[in-house]
Chain A
Amino acid sequence: MEVPPRGGGQVTSAKRVAVLGVGMHPWGKWGRNFVEYGVAAAQAALADAGIAWTDVDYVAGADTIRNGYPGFIAGATFAQALGFQGTRVSSSYAACASGAQAIANARAQILAGLAEVALVVGADTTAKGFFAPVGGERRDDPDWLRFHLLGATNPTYFGLYARRRMDRFGSTSEDFAAVKVKNARHGAANPNARYRKEVTIEEVLASPMVADPLHLQEICATSDGGAALIITSVEFAKRHGLQPLVTIDAVSTMTPVYPNTVIEMPNFATDSSATVALPERGFRPSITAAVYEEAGIGPEDLSMAEVYDLSTALELDWYEDLGLCGEGEAEALLRSGATAVGGRIPVNPSGGLASFGEAIPAQAIAQVVESVLQLRGQATGRQVEGATVAITANQGLFGHGSSVLIRR
């Protein structure tokens, strides 16, 4: 009972949209209202695009849920903060993948001819410490139950994945720490990163243990930040004289296929593999496979990747899920230097979550911002020379995959 892969398979220029502008508010722990960061990012993207706010005819907001009452809906909230001008608006919630869904919404509107200039924007303000479930005693909510019954935080899951790599593939703590060292070096050159200091393996391993085998410096922090894109039709971008023409060629926002046999937040059990045949691919590899198929390319065509390094070890899982190497080979790929800037296939040239910390609804958008800067040759100090094809990959709580393919 194999479920066929989704996606059109046929790539046509009609599926491309242009990225006319990008903008960010620097990541940090600023303690202000998230709307402020989103507006700053939107203004930066508009300025980068050379577009007036009143020329935007679609706003795709990526929602945050941690800042109060449900009326704080991102799309209209940002539109109001920029001055209501009657634009159509949408709001997406997909946990860490919210930004990719907002991109997918804007892209579909433009490809359908229903909009011409879209603002995609996401921003967040986060509390200190572990993410915790929303309030109330909710005994039918797996997110509440996993904290209450098991004390299973998000790093618990990162620790499980990391330890499994060690026991199966012989990965070492030094391998994991080396991911942090690489990303910190990249992030040190990124003015929008929160942490801009290089670290050593010894410093990483000397930080307190959080979820064995992962130390504090190997688990992404929670941050404030905002990111925005101006997305237009390719025709509009050409009329506008966009040079180089950077386009989004494929977007994946898929769910897992039953049975998913990897334990995922916030669940405390997997699906059953006892009677139903396994899908062709696990969830994470299926997310990027859908993007490769839609864009008509493969991992060998990539210049760079921005992946969701919620932990150091998870970045290594992504190498394999992206098809950059075979299962169990990610540590060797890392040690070869291939995934550092200057190597064959740099991963997280932005510095990744290791240097940013996670501002949930902004993060998938920020991955695309970095990709666009790299493809334009504007990533000063961390530039992937001659980059032409970038992929982003991310996974949101509750079964939200996301991947975006960007080209020039």
Chain B
Amino acid sequence: MDGVQAVEGFFDPETQSLIGSKCQGCGTYAFPAKSGLCGNPRCMSDQFDLVPLSRRGTVWSYTSASYQPPHPYVAADPFVPFSIAAVELEAEGLVVLGQVVAGVANADLKVGMEMEVVTDVLYSDDEGNKLVWKFRPVEVAK
């Protein structure tokens, strides 16, 4: 998919993976990738490995953006409502938020449903596409 990341550092558009961190001290994961001290108060390590996170997870919950979010969200004109899902990545023990790809309505989603991370267009401007991670139901992808 052509374009550049809307904000660098959260995912790899090529492999369609979120990029998190794994603490060298206690092994805990973080997304976005951690800098500074580990979030675990009994760890205090400041050394982390950048790691790609699981591409698949299950729906923790979901909702819709039925009204246009305010700036700094860059909305299409006219605004098209979209869904947002919180997806649980079991191996990393993380729940991550992301938009759900266009064409999937809330009625299509269910807590526990399997989802995968994909690269998609957040918005387009004079410079081209700005990319972000989104979630897509695995069933739809087949």
Interface residues of A, Cβ cutoff 8 Å to B = 1, 3, 129-130, 132-133, 137, 139, 144-153, 155-156, 158-164, 167-168, 208-214, 257-259, 261, 263, 268-276
What total of A-B pairs shows CB separation below 8 Å?
Answer: 154
A147 near B94: Cβ-Cβ < 8 Å:
no
Whether the pair A132, B65 counts as a contact (CB closer than 8 A) is no
B contact patch SS: loop
Besides A150-B98, A163-B61, A167-B112, 10 other A-B contacts (C-beta < 8 A): A156-B65, A158-B63, A159-B64, A159-B84, A211-B65, A212-B64, A261-B93, A263-B60, A268-B98, A276-B26
List residues of chain B with CB within 8 A of the CB of A210. Answer: 66-67
Note all chain A residues with C-beta closer than 8 A to B97: 146, 150, 152, 156, 263, 268-269
**A144 in contact with B65 (CB, 8 Å):** no
Please report the C-alpha to C-alpha distance between residue A274 and residue B86 in the assembled complex, in whole angstroms: 17
Kindly list the 8 A-B residue pairs having the minimum CB-CB distance in the complex, ordered from nearest.
Answer: A159-B63, A274-B93, A273-B93, A167-B111, A151-B69, A164-B61, A212-B64, A272-B29
CB neighbours (8 Å) of B95 from chain A are 261, 263, 269-270
Contact B111–A144 (Cβ < 8 Å): no
Q: What is B's interface to A at a CB cutoff of 8 Å?
A: 6-7, 10, 26-32, 39-42, 60-67, 69-75, 82-84, 86, 91-99, 106, 110-112, 122, 132
A272 near B64 with CB under 8 A, answer no
Given contacts A145-B7, A258-B40, contact A274 B74 (CB under 8 A): no
Q: Is the CB of B72 within 8 A of A133?
A: yes
Q: Which residue of A lies closest to B85 (CB)?
A: A160
**Distance in Å: Cβ of A256 to nearest Cβ of chain B:** 10
Contacts A160-B62, A161-B61; is A272 near B93 (CB within 8 Å)?
A: yes
Tell me, rounded to whole Å, the shortest Cβ–Cβ distance linking A69 to chain B: 20
Given A258-B40, A259-B39; A132-B61 close (CB under 8 Å): no
* Cβ contact within 8 Å between A272 and B111: no
Known: A269-B32, A276-B26. Contact between A211 and B63, CB under 8 A? yes
Q: Is the CB–CB distance between A3 and B41 below 8 Å?
A: yes
Q: Which residue of B lies closest to A274 (CB)?
A: B93
Residues of A within 8 A of B86 (CB): 160, 263
A282 to B132, CA, bound (A): 30
B69 to chain A, nearest CB (A): 4
In the assembled complex, the Cα of A164 lies from the Cα of B109 at a distance in Å of 11
A1 touches B42 (CB 8 A): yes
Contacts of A263 in B (CB 8 A): 60, 86, 95, 97
Residues of the A chain whose Cβ atoms lie less than 8 Å from the Cβ of B69: 130, 147, 151-153
Interface centre among B7, B63, B84, B91 (most CB of A within 10 A): B63
